[in-house]
Structure 1
Amino acid sequence: MKRGLGQRAIALILIISSVAFMIIILQGKNMQELLKTLLLSIQNCQQGIIAYILLYNIATVLLIPAVILTLGGGAIYGVFWGSIYVFVASTLGATIAFLLGRYVSRDWVIGKLSQSPKFCALDRAVVKSGFKIVLLTRLSPIFPFNLLNYAFGVMQVSLQDYVLGSVGMIPAIVGYTYIGSLIGDITQLGNESLDLGMGAQIAQGAIYAIGVFATLSLILYGSKLAQKSLEETL
């Protein structure tokens, strides 16, 4: 009986989430407030973990920024379990978006870009070093997480390299869940006026430093691969 109630609660949250997302997108209301409301519902749900992961997946597929959800994972579940749940949720959501990009829009996009030597070169560079490229882009903050999922689906990176490269999300996930655990109160997530002390500043600084290093590495490594592949093509 309890299991049936839990499943109905999850189904209800998913239905409400989907409808609410569409309403927000169409009417241009505050997405952060909606996400915080849904997180509060999940916090009080018996099957909250499953609902949280599914909600994260929906946000990822619909290109909705998931920073609030990542912070919420830390606020609800703490640093350790929050990081695990966020990693599972973000990897699963990213994989779904990747597959959608590959099998729904791939042919159309390839048809538009196939005549560009530079695109073809970069595409082959990803084939040769897919894992490294995915890993570095996941570490770098300058690449939009949600859009990148669909972009990799269009390129020739293998699903295995794509999923394994998702480990690059771990430093940012741990950092943001830690900050979320310091905030604790879901209603205060995203409040820039909060003073969380030295711990949050260290976490933010670490995320920034790792991101800068990954971005520079990606620029150098990616340029080298793309140039080599382009020369081979020409």
Structure 2
Amino acid sequence: MSFTCTSALNITLLILLVATIVVACLTLPVDKILKDLLVWIDSNLGPWGPLALIAVYIPLTILAVPASVLTLGGGYLFGLPIGFIADSIGSTVGAVAAFLVGRTIGKSLVVSRLKDYPQFKLVTIAIQKSGFKISILLRLAPFVPFSLLNYFLSVTPVPLGEYTLTSWLGMMPLTLALVYVGTTLKDLSDVTRGWGEFSKTHLPWIISGLVISDAW
């Protein structure tokens, strides 16, 4: 009975958290807040800026807030290779944090949302047979939402170490592309428009991801 009560409490808390996130994303200027945060990092933290950028990824990823502004900002503030290293580490650490949340306190809610989808069962079976390959292909597939994939994979049999490695490798091409676009921006305020600029070259990455997926 205690397990049932604990599970119900966890699900209730997570539902409230999700509702808060949705309301915040709809009502708050998230991109502007992130831009202001980047300005603060640039003005106050000096050489500690890349570490702060990495840390910010963790709550954003757990809360499923799109972090493309951070990635672009990392490119603008720190350039290559520092911006790429910081963004790559940050996105990977954030993905691991979300994975751990989904595998522990959020497991009941995630499973309840996915169990009726046949695709979930098929992917779970595929991961049991070839976890590394399937995990990295899912990361390379640009039509799979980054934040949702963290929680999706958390309730599959993929080991934490394998998940971490495939997430890092699979996110690397898109991270590098965004960081590069960030280095070409003329002003930090442009990071909120950088995604639109990047989307002009996004199609080739989608095609590349599909080609790689088919080849594997």
Aligned-pair distance for 1:216?
5.1
Q: What are the equivalent positions in structure 2 for 1:91-110 lying under 5 Å apart? A: 91-110=92-111
- The residue that corresponds to 2:12 in the other structure is none
Aligned to 1:186: 188
Is the 1:76–1:184 contact (alpha carbons within 8 Å) kept by the matching residues of 2? no
Q: Pairwise CA RMSD of aligned residues?
A: 3.0
Q: In the alignment, does 2:204 pair up with 1:209? A: yes
* Structure 1 residue 155, shift from structure 2 partner: 1.2
The answer for the alignment partner of 1:169 in structure 2 is 171
Shift of 1:217: 4.7
Report the number of matched residues: 194
User: Partner of 1:38 in structure 2?
Assistant: 37
Asked if the contact 1:140–1:210 (Cα under 8 Å) also holds between the matched residues in 2, the reply is no
Q: Distance in 2 between matches of 1:153 and 1:93?
A: 13
Q: Could you tell me the TM-score, scaled by structure 1's length?
A: 0.72
Question: For the Cα contact (< 8 Å) 1:56–1:89, is it kept in 2?
Answer: yes
Q: For residues 155 and 195 of structure 2, what CA distance do their matches in structure 1 show?
A: 40
Say which one has the larger Rg.
1
Cα distance in 1 for residues equivalent to 2:26 and 2:53: 24
Post-superposition offset of 1:188: 1.4
Q: Which amino acid aligns with 2:183?
A: S
The share of aligned pairs that are identical, in percent, is 33
Instruction: Please give the alpha-carbon distance, in whole angstroms, between the structure 1 residues aligned to 2:142 and 2:113.
Output: 28
2:74 corresponds to:
73
Q: What is the letter of the counterpart of residue 68 of structure 1? A: V
Structure 2 runs not aligned, ≥5 long:
1-19
Q: Is the contact made by 1:105 and 1:154 (CA closer than 8 Å) also made in structure 2?
A: no
**Post-superposition offset of 1:80:** 1.0
**Alpha-carbon distance in structure 2 between the residues aligned to 1:26 and 1:67:** 14
In 2, are the aligned partners of 1:76 and 1:82 still within 8 Å (CA)? yes
CA 1:29 to 1:106, structure 2 compared with 1: closer, same or farther past 3 Å? closer
Distance apart, 1:154 and its partner CA:
1.2
